[in-house]
Structure 1
């Protein structure tokens, strides 16, 4: 059947096919570019949408249009790509080996999309890096970095670009569930050990004093998170306990369920009041011991 087909009498010139593919590719690019501009304009015009939701929609729309462009180009140039792939099998194997990292990044992007591990606006932690996701592409994820330790919820002002290949090898933690309220723990190490019973009672009173205005809001947020995630969270009541450090120093460990943005302030206020209170207790104890010593010397 193919032998009987006379290619010379076709209604068009076969030499023009590459030009037609190039024209179709250009037309596809223009159409998608115009559609992308329209979608971006519509998203940015919605002032009632929060900024992090707008960034999420913009990133998602860009990735969708990029995916459509890649699929369209593959469909348009499929015959030429098939011929090229068959003639350059050995070269293709070498390219796969040379672009292994890029392939891993693409695989990490597929893992992120299929597992819904995170999206723009989420608070995540990959390895030792913590931050808010501001953008993600097929190859990399951009984070607005947070500090570590007592500054775990404060942006550092730096952006961190992570290859998506890290998603295949490094555990990822998503902190978005406790974004507004979080369990904040900190420790106060004491140089001198006070009397345990009155010191513990005083520390509990100080923590309760600072936490009382936040308790009702914390209780509601705790219940909302449990309902949304269908998990059982610890009670929002503050916890104060005494422990010792590796050097034998007494430590006051405090855990409160508080707003993330206020965690550093609450920690600073509680620490200052506990240290001042313990110093006052130590001074009172010394003053009480002085008369006893004088009486003993007189006797």
Structure 2
């Protein structure tokens, strides 16, 4: 009976607390709806990858900050103990920091990404052994649309990998598209020593330029050809800047073009392992 009586005596406090919680939840819902609508409208006006990334980051940062302020103010208002709140907050932070080391490290990594910008949404990156395009990142994870995966090339696998943010402090971050959307790639063909080397160099150069004609003016440089001695022939390597998301597409087209041109050429042959038997008459 004493317990029931105590509950009845404090029913007003419970009702006030419930109303405060509902008010806070309603305000948080309004904040989420507001920033969702704002982001949608701004995304329609964004024209570049950088602008879209900035909109996402600004929305996340503003929403998290405003929501945290609302919760803190609600706690302070309901407790009525502003002076003791600092001590409580310090003890709570220490306990949470010990129990949630990796999540807190993840939040610190999120702040690092927001301020230092090692990558943006849309960039192609490698984090440890995960490679793909960044589609989103939040307080806990970086969402990466995987490339490669079950196959060993630069094609999109269709799988999304969620990388914990705390890994950003422990793994190397490689950004394909930090400065621009191009990366250096190459195609190598090994030709015989009997081939016309100048003609082989020309074939490699023309093959690359045929498919890169529309991107050379915006890329860091034009295709270039390098040659090296090998045991059974000479490597003719054409190096070119390819759009990062089309590496395999361009290398496949250039490879086929080189093959077709060499087949049509009479003075260039592809070297491959084979045995040649030569019969000579022994001098008496």
- Contact 2:204 2:236 survives alignment (8 Å): no
- Contact 1:211 1:238 survives alignment (8 Å): no
Instruction: Tell me whether 61-70 or 210-219 shows the greater mean CA deviation.
Output: 210-219
- Say yes or no: does 1:204 pair with 2:188: no
Q: Determine the structure 1 residue equivalent to 2:255.
A: 271
Structure 2 matches for 1:93-104, cutoff 5 A?
Answer: 93-104=94-105
Q: Determine the structure 1 residue equivalent to 2:68.
A: 70
Q: Determine the structure 2 residue equivalent to 1:253.
A: 237
Q: CA deviation at 1:41?
A: 4.4
Q: CA deviation at 1:77?
A: 1.2
- Contact 1:238 1:257 survives alignment (8 Å): no
- Contact 2:142 2:165 survives alignment (8 Å): yes
- Contact 2:136 2:144 survives alignment (8 Å): yes
- Say yes or no: does 1:213 pair with 2:190: no
Q: Determine the structure 2 residue equivalent to 1:181.
A: 182
Q: CA deviation at 1:156?
A: 1.1
**1:87–1:114 CA distance, 2 compared to 1 (3 A):** closer
Q: Determine the structure 2 residue equivalent to 1:38.
A: 37
Structure 1's unaligned 5+ residue stretches are: 1-12, 223-232, 284-288
Structure 2 matches for 1:96-175, cutoff 5 A?
Answer: 96-147=97-148, 151-152=153-154, 154-175=155-176
Q: CA deviation at 1:139?
A: 1.1
- Contact 1:29 1:69 survives alignment (8 Å): yes
Output one character per residue of 1:113-138: Cα deviation in whole Å (capped at 9) or x when no partner. 12122221222221232211111101
- What is the DSSP-based 3-state SS (H/G/I as helix, E as strand, rest coil) of the residue aligned with 2:157? strand
- Contact 2:35 2:59 survives alignment (8 Å): yes
Aligned residues: CA RMSD: 4.2
Instruction: Tell me whether 83-92 or 252-261 shows the greater mean CA deviation.
Output: 83-92
- Contact 2:148 2:157 survives alignment (8 Å): yes
**1:78–1:185 CA distance, 2 compared to 1 (3 A):** farther
Output one character per residue of 1:247-274: Cα deviation in whole Å (capped at 9) or x when no partner. x565443311234455324423443455
Structure 2's unaligned 5+ residue stretches are: 1-11, 271-275
Task: Give distance in 1, aligned partners of 2:250 and 2:97.
Answer: 53
- What is the DSSP-based 3-state SS (H/G/I as helix, E as strand, rest coil) of the residue aligned with 2:184? strand
Task: Give distance in 1, aligned partners of 2:246 and 2:33.
Answer: 44
Task: Give distance in 1, aligned partners of 2:49 and 2:89.
Answer: 48
- What is the DSSP-based 3-state SS (H/G/I as helix, E as strand, rest coil) of the residue aligned with 1:66? helix
- What is the DSSP-based 3-state SS (H/G/I as helix, E as strand, rest coil) of the residue aligned with 2:218? helix
Q: CA deviation at 1:207?
A: 1.4
TM-score, with length taken from structure 1: 0.67
Greater fraction of residues in helix? 1
Q: CA deviation at 1:74?
A: 1.5
